[in-house]
Structure 1
Amino acid sequence: MNSTARPASVIPLRYVASVDSLRDFYLEQLGFDHLMGMVGKDGQLDFAIVQRGGAMLMLARPQDGGSLTAGALEIYVEVEDVDAYHAELSGRGVAIAQAPATQWWGDRNFSVVDPVGHTLWFYKTVAEPQPPAGVTMI
């Protein structure tokens, strides 16, 4: 990959039982902003987009009899200052799943788990990769 090229935006769409409660977690606990939403006939959100910096996440309730699908999902979100954001979330009482650490691939990151069980990694690239013995980067 060309080191100067920025990847195109990818916006995950997550189907959840309650858009309202998960949206509130992202806004109140993780400091995301509300970009837009659509309220369903029952007065609850059918759809919402939350964002932090350039990262966006779409949340939706299944429609037309659709179901929630199980499966692991981890989201990797770039932030300006990993340690400052970690301190901000810790100050809000957010449970940190993995404390900040600098990884061999050059990213400093930490993780939290959202209320529906998905892991969010917050990172900033701080160094060049230093692969451990036995690892070959291609």
Structure 2
Amino acid sequence: MNAKFTPAVIPLRYVPSVDAVRQYYIDSLGFEHMMGVVGKDGQLDFSIVTRTGAMLMLARPQTPDGATAGALEIYVEVTDVDAYHAELAGRGVAIANAPETQWWGDRNFSVVDPAGHKIWFWKTVAEVQPPPGVTLI
């Protein structure tokens, strides 16, 4: 492993109100707003807050895979998404989501651990290019 690469591990919490939980982290715990995605109803669908190098993602449970409030997913940064995907596939690991480059610039794929938690492996590979209708704050 490259000694200069320090991978990030980022939890994603599904919460009933991203706005309320985000505000708690900012006002009560001293986190800073990094970014957010506003939903069609004017409320946040997604937000990232940070504090002293730590990062936490918050999202409303509206994913196609049925994530519910209280669910947790984990994002693990890797140096090469495609190489790691090939390594895991070669070991016979079931892949939940195939590698794909997302509009926010990350290339990622996922597996599901034995406890049922989705683990995403990612690396930023491109610039953010929000689709029409997506508002970032």
TM-score of the superposed pair, with normalisation by structure 2: 0.51
Cα distance, 1:137 vs structure 2:
1.3
CA–CA distance in 2 between the matches of 1:106 and 1:87?
Answer: 21
Look up the equivalent residue of 1:8 and give its one-letter code.
G
C-alpha distance in 1 between matches for 2:104 and 2:122: 12
- Which residue is equivalent to 2:63? none
1:9 Cα offset (Å):
4.1
Shift of 1:90: 0.3
Q: For residue 84 of structure 2, what is the aligned residue in structure 1?
A: 85
- AA aligned to 2:102 is Q
Cα 1:100–1:7, aligned 2, differ >3 Å: closer, same or farther?
farther
Task: Give the residue type in structure 2 aligned to 1:129.
Answer: V
2:53 corresponding residue in structure 1: 8
Tell me the TM-score normalised to structure 1 length. 0.51
1:135 corresponds to which residue?
134
What is the match of residue 97 of structure 1?
96
**Offset at residue 8 of structure 1 (A):** 1.6
Counterpart CA distance in 1 for 2:128 and 2:76 is: 18
5+ long unaligned stretches in structure 1: 11-70
Corresponding residue number in structure 1 for 2:125: 126
Identity %: 80
Deviation string, structure 1 residues 12-65 (Cα, Å, up to 9, x no partner): xxxxxxxxxxxxxxxxxxxxxxxxxxxxxxxxxxxxxxxxxxxxxxxxxxxxxx
Q: Structure 2 regions of 5+ residues with no counterpart?
A: 1-33, 35-50, 56-69
CA RMSD of aligned residues (A): 2.5
- Which residue identity lines up with residue 87 of structure 2 in the other structure? E
- How many residues are paired up? 77
Moved over 6 A (4+): none
Considering Cα pairs closer than 8 Å and 6+ residues apart, tell me whether 1 or 2 has the greater RCO.
Answer: 2
Change beyond 3 A, Cα 1:80–1:120 = same
**Secondary structure class of the residue paired with 2:75:** strand
The answer on 1:72 being equivalent to 2:52 is no
Structure 1 segment 5-84 matched on structure 2, within 5 A: 8-9=53-54, 71-84=70-83
